């Protein structure tokens, strides 16, 4: 299987070896969470053909306090994904804005 440069970045930052990655991919479950098509415990994968295109954590990082939640681009990585946001590129912000549209994450 070919691995995209984005996934290589995740593997290096998370210190996941190639052997561990292939073991994870051997034991995946099919899913449709956030546009992914494979899941292994806390990891989501997007596999198209023979290419692993994306890898991110299942849980969206939450920031702030409040009854309403909204997704916003993670400013630190400009939405590209990083260790801090779990490679999602977005964070869930809890806010007190009554005009916000509540979402479930």
CA 43 to chain centre: 7
The answer to whether 93 and 72 are in contact (CB under 8 A) is yes
Residue the block writes with tokens 């909204």 = 70
What is the pLDDT, as a whole number, of residue 98? 59
What is the pLDDT, as a whole number, of residue 83? 94
What is the pLDDT, as a whole number, of residue 99? 57
What is the pLDDT, as a whole number, of residue 94? 86
Residue the block writes with tokens 């991110």 = 56
What is the pLDDT, as a whole number, of residue 69? 85
**What is the separation, in whole angstroms, between the first and last Cα of the chain?**
31
Instruction: Name the CA radius of gyration of the chain, rounded.
Output: 15
Residue the block writes with tokens 């779990």 = 86
Please give the model's pTM, rounded to 2 decimal places: 0.78
Each domain of the chain, given as residue ranges in start order, spans: 2-57, 62-95
Helix (H) or strand (E) holding 71: strand 68-73
Could you tell me the mean pLDDT of each successive run of 10 residues in the chain, 105 residues long?
96 96 96 93 96 94 85 92 93 76 51
């Amino acid at each position: 299987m070919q691995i995209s440069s984005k996934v290589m970045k995740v593997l290096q930052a998370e210190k996941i070896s190639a052997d561990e990655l292939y073991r994870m991919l051997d034991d995946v479950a099919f899913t449709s969470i956030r546009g992914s098509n494979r899941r292994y415990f806390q990891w989501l994968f997007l596999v198209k053909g023979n290419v692993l295109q994306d890898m991110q954590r299942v849980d969206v990082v939450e920031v702030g306090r409040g009854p309403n939640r909204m997704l916003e681009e993670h400013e630190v990585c400009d939405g590209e994904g990083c260790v801090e946001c779990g490679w999602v590129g977005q964070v869930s912000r809890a806010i007190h804005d009554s005009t916000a549209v509540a979402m479930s994450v």
